[in-house]
Amino acid sequence: MRSRKFLLALLAAVLALPLLAGTPVRRVFVTRHGQQPGEESKIKGDVYLTELGREQASLLGKYLKSKNFKGKIYASPYLRTVETAVYAGKEMGLKVYPEPRFQERVGDHRRGKDVPNTPNLKNGGHTLAMLKEIFPDGIADDAKLPDNWLLTEPEDYKTTHSARLMKGLAEVLKEQPEGDVLIVSHAGAVTGFNVGFTKAGCKVGKGSSWNCCLYTYGVDKDGKYSFIDYTIDFIPEDKITGNFAYKNNPEAEKAFKASKNYKDKKSKKSKKSKKTED
């Protein structure tokens, strides 16, 4: 009996000790949207997820629930990212905050220069009212989103884009002083965050930017970041994609590339590339 009381007292004393610097007190999860392009929306260029993309998002939510996620979900206001966040949020009983600070970058780094290949939404993006109409049970009641949220100035993904993302994260952590944070963004943002965390002194583990891949970072009591984990293991290997590319399912990839949505997307990209070269 005395031994048990002693152990309980010792446990209480340990729990009462102040957290050491470097010990994570909250987590930041960064993910890419699910597979796209699905059907075209009312906003030209802003597409829904595919059915597989929705399944990937639901699996992401189930995984986060198993990891006891407690906090808020923030999503780039593009349709594919909001939809990913909504499907993940459903699995956890959480609603989504569309967040322009985590939106896609402007500029085509693959062509070796920051040309304004975006905004690819010529008439602006979905407004908060439009997103609430599309996802009536998925958007947080207290969410805010300016109508003119779409960026127009080119960003370099290793400098200005990364800096914007990290600044946005710091602001969100200040606005939401407790709990976990899930950021649903784009492939470029996943890379941008990795660059930003590395510059902040965090040793980031390697991982590929598959749809719904998940990076986990810790934040200690002093606001210092640490790398915790990278995973895509919650998605079956034959359902892991990088939009058009499948990790280990050549038949599904061939079928997807034969679909109308894929052909329409490739056709639009080809026309846009030709205009840029001209």
218: β partners = 27, 226
Domains of the chain: 19-277 (3.40.50.1240)
pLDDT of residue 7: 54
Q: Nearest 5°: phi and psi at 130? A: -65, -40
Band of pLDDT at residue 34, cut at 50, 70 and 90: very high
* Mean predicted lDDT score pLDDT of the chain: 84
State the Cα–Cα distance between residues 220 and 7, nearest whole angstrom. Answer: 28
- For the chain, the three-class secondary structure string (H helix, E strand, C coil) is CHHHHHHHHHHHHHHHCCCCCCCEEEEEEEEECCCCCCCECCCCCCECCCHHHHHHHHHHHHHHHHCCCCEEEEECCCHHHHHHHHHHHHHHCCCEEECHHHCCCCCCHHHCCCCCCCCCCCCCCCCHHHHHHHCCCCECCCCCCCCCCCCCCCCCCCCHHHHHHHHHHHHHHHHCCCCEEEEEECHHHHHHHHHHHHHCCCCCCCCCCCCCCEEEEEEECCCCEEEEEEECCCCCHHHCEECCEECCCHHHHHHHHCCHHHHHHHHHHHHHHHHHHC
Q: 117: left (phi > 0), else alpha (psi -120 to 50), else beta?
A: alpha
Answer for the pair 112, 83: CB distance below 8 angstroms, yes or no. Answer: no
207 against 144, higher pLDDT: 144
Instruction: Label residue 29 by pLDDT band (50, 70, 90).
Output: very high
pLDDT band at 109 (very low <50, low <70, confident <90, very high): very low
The strand pair at 245-246 and 96-98 is best described as unpaired
Closest CA relative to residue 55, chosen from 91, 104, 102: 91
On the question of pLDDT at 209 being above 80, the answer is yes
Express each pLDDT in 230-273 by its tens digit: 999 999 999 999 988 887 777 767 777 776 666 555 555 544 44
Is 16's pLDDT higher than 70?
no
More confident residue, 81 or 155: 81
Highest mean pLDDT among 22-26, 143-147, 263-267: 143-147
Crossing angle (nearest 10°) for helices 160-175 and 187-199: 80
Distance between start and end Cα atoms, the chain: 84
* Of 5 and 208, more confident: 208
* Residue 237 vs residue 20, higher pLDDT: 237
State the SS3 of 74-87.
EECCCHHHHHHHHH
- For the whole prediction, is pTM greater than 0.75? yes
pLDDT at 4: 60
Share of the chain above pLDDT 70, in %: 79
